Structure 1
Amino acid sequence: MNPAASVRIQHGDFDLSTELAALRAHDPKVGAVVGFVGTVRDMNEGLDVAAMELEHYPGMTEKSIEAIVDQAKQRWPLAGALVIHRVGPLLPQEQIVLVAVSSGHRGEAFAACEFIIDYLKTEAPFWKKESTPQGARWVDARVTDEAALDKWKTPARP
């Protein structure tokens, strides 16, 4: 993966401001930084969610996400990209994931950020277990997540 791209899987939280500042630091060509932060919801598919636990396969997960970021870097002229995904037990309102990209212009940054999170939601090997009043349950990718990929199946426009 390009040195201007980073993938981290971690248990601890992240500081959005610090991460975005580092992504654009010392690069005068950066005119846009776009970020997405996903958080734990307290409800899913009509059930209350008390907690979520995320598991992954170390090494395989990072390689999978690196491949997604590399695809984005091939489609858009990005200066940098960052994906931080947390694992372990999480509570509602806690941050799960940060996807951030930097580029010369906002259009490329928005598109690349959306591309990465759409693929991350469906292609990265994470296993999510929610704790609900009805008991623990494993969560699959949603149909809407799968449908979001359709717009990226066509070649990128110049």
Structure 2
Amino acid sequence: MLEDSFPKTVILSSPTVESVFENMSTCNIGHFICHGISVPNDPSKSGLVLSSGTLTLGKLSQKYYPNAHIMYLSACSTAEVSVRELLDEVLHLGTGFQLVGFSHVVATLWEVENREAGRVAQGFYERIRGDGKGYLGERVIARALHDIVKKQRDKQADDPLAWAAQIHFGP
């Protein structure tokens, strides 16, 4: 789906932490489909599980990506804050990707089911490509996520766990 929408897509089928860092240096859209882990008492150890280990918030915070624009984290708990003492802190993978240069981040508040997460992601990319202004237009990213989540909500109003996990961070 991503290759159809974005012809210059590079897919890392068994990404390592190193290959991710290398590829993020030249990308403006990133998308992860993997397991995410949240470490409530030490958010710097929260991360994305890759083939060579975990891309932690601590490792990520050492980088900066000037070409970055959109990061879509289709992984569980990438925006989760579950420790009572840290509820007023916004330290998780979603904001970590913002800190390293991605102005827009889509992240998840809890575990997501693959099929539902895939539907939301597909609708999101269809909307940012079909907007006519391009994905750099004002409010296109937030609006795209809002529209697809609303569509999923209308289909499954009685099951918010299926549609309400993805949130947008950014302008």
Question: Between Structure 1 and Structure 2, whose CA radius of gyration is higher?
Answer: 1
Which is bigger in relative contact order (C-alpha 8 A, separation at least 6)? 1
- TM-score bracket for this pair, using the shorter chain length: 0.3 to 0.5
Normalised to the residue count of structure 1, the TM-score between the two structures is 0.33
